[in-house]
Amino acid sequence: MGRVIALLLAVSFACAPAVAASRAEKERSVLIANLRAHITELASDAYDGREPGTEGETLTLRYLGRQWFDIGLESGTNDPGHAWFTPVSLIGREPDRSAALFSRKGRRVAVPGSAVLVLTSGKRSLLENAPILFVGKGDAIPPRAELAGRIALMLDGGRDGSERQNAMLGGGASAVLTVLDSSRTIDTVVSQRRRLAYGIAGEELGGDLETFISAAALDRALTGTGQSVAGFQKAAQRDDFTPIPVDLNATFEATTRETRINTHNMIGRLLGKRPDAGAVLIMAHWDHFGRCAPQATDHQICNGAIDNASGLAAMTEIARRLARAPQLDRDVYFVATTGEELGLLGAEAFAENPPVPLKQIVAAFNIDSVALAPAGQPFAVIGAGMTPLDVQIAAVARQQKRKIAPGNAANAFVKRQDGWALMQHDVPAVMISSSWSDLGRVERFMNGDYHRPTDRVKPDLELGGAADDVDFHVALARWFGDLKKVPAAGK
């Protein structure tokens, strides 16, 4: 009899790895099926592109709320008046009136209105009869005493972005006038800048004046002064360049139209044994662009399957796995943010009015566009080297026998995701995903379906890497939620 028992035990032990592997394969299949089901639902036409302030928002948050409640999460707003959903009011400002008047020695200088564009970030801005100072390419900021009360005139040089202009305004200039001396035209700038600029209601968006003028129009205004665009370009090339007073004054006025959007962040919480010991935060934005294609096209809806129904799906499945595992020491907050596509505004609103003090968040993990990579890829850390989390993340990777992609090339995207808004408030926040470890793959998505109606659920939607991301984030949450692994501050 003893020999029979021994034989049965041997057979049992031999079968155990196969049984475990079979269970893991089944759980993996269920996970991928759940991810696909969430993405298919949230990126369906019924949600109309998940635009903030629309019925699409209502459907999105209702779906997530039902899922999170069934999983076992509780409201994480810590506000009985707004369970689950935190109101976020957004103000959109669209350029309206633009007017420019140039003068020399008190006499008006004729410049076609179509050759000048005046923009303001405020509701209305007016600057009257201010002198103009040529500051070259705008790479060096003159002393404040030189800029104060003056309009900084700079060469465009075909360089997009407003970094130089903002630096001049920050340096004391009353306005910035950019002469389009390269390939950009007024029409190009209009197409780039005549869009709604959003901010959180109650925030002052500012009243800075930014103005653009064609090279031909500026040359016309400078007729008879001995100055010209060509002369400015030549002067700007000199190593010993110094700002040059321009023989012109200008009056600029710009106004905007306002649009208000009432929208919401959604916050759930998995209660820990020691809520006083801090919290782990997992977040993903729920919003997208609604109907984004011209009405003449067959399909107008930007469904946002990858960006970011995939992130919502992953966050929901992370919550499911954490909820059915042993209770952690720390709370885990799950945040579905609004307004990411409008400038990370939901994440900013969360940071300004958090349900838990920001200093108590030991780690925050953002999830965005994770349905790109096949299974088995290394993980990219967007925000690598920018927080104290790197050593612990590496430890979790070793524990899970997974690789972290070397280098920090993915940090090129750090300012384009919600974690950046939290980092500005000193919250240790990163975005970790296998989808972002191959930047060539990311660029193909960016140049293809990204922010287009073609970002829909397709038969070949890749979810192997998304499933890996879920598993890794579960491990991360368990690690950072464990007081033995990550002690409370001062312990």
- pTM tops 0.75: yes
CATH value of 92-258 in 3.30.420, 3.40.50, 3.30.2310, 3.50.30: 3.50.30
pLDDT value, residue 205: 47
Per-residue tens of pLDDT for the chain, all 491 residues: 666 566 555 555 666 566 666 888 899 999 999 999 999 999 999 999 999 999 999 999 999 999 999 999 999 999 988 999 999 999 888 888 999 999 999 899 989 989 999 998 788 899 999 999 999 999 999 999 999 999 999 999 988 778 899 999 999 999 999 999 998 899 888 877 766 678 887 655 457 889 999 999 999 999 999 999 999 999 999 999 999 999 999 999 999 888 899 999 999 999 999 989 999 999 999 999 999 877 767 889 999 999 999 999 999 999 999 999 999 999 999 999 999 999 999 999 999 999 999 999 999 999 999 999 999 999 999 999 999 999 999 999 999 999 999 999 999 999 999 999 999 999 999 999 999 999 999 999 999 999 999 999 999 999 999 999 999 999 999 999 999 999 986 55
Question: How far is it between the farthest Cα atoms of the chain?
Answer: 116
Contact 362, 330 (CB under 8 A): yes
CATH 3.40.630.10 domain locations along the chain? 33-72+271-480
**Cα 437 from Cα 409, distance rounded (Å):** 9
**Cα 94 from Cα 117, distance rounded (Å):** 14
Contact 265, 338 (CB under 8 A): yes
pLDDT value, residue 92: 84
CA distances from 18 to 5, 9, 15, 467 (A): 21, 15, 5, 21
pLDDT value, residue 323: 98
pLDDT value, residue 6: 61
**Cα 193 from Cα 294, distance rounded (Å):** 19
CATH 3.50.30 domain locations along the chain? 92-258
pLDDT value, residue 8: 52
Superfamily of domain 33-72+271-480: Zn peptidases (3.40.630.10)
Q: How many other CB atoms are there within 10 angstroms of residue 453's CB atom?
A: 19
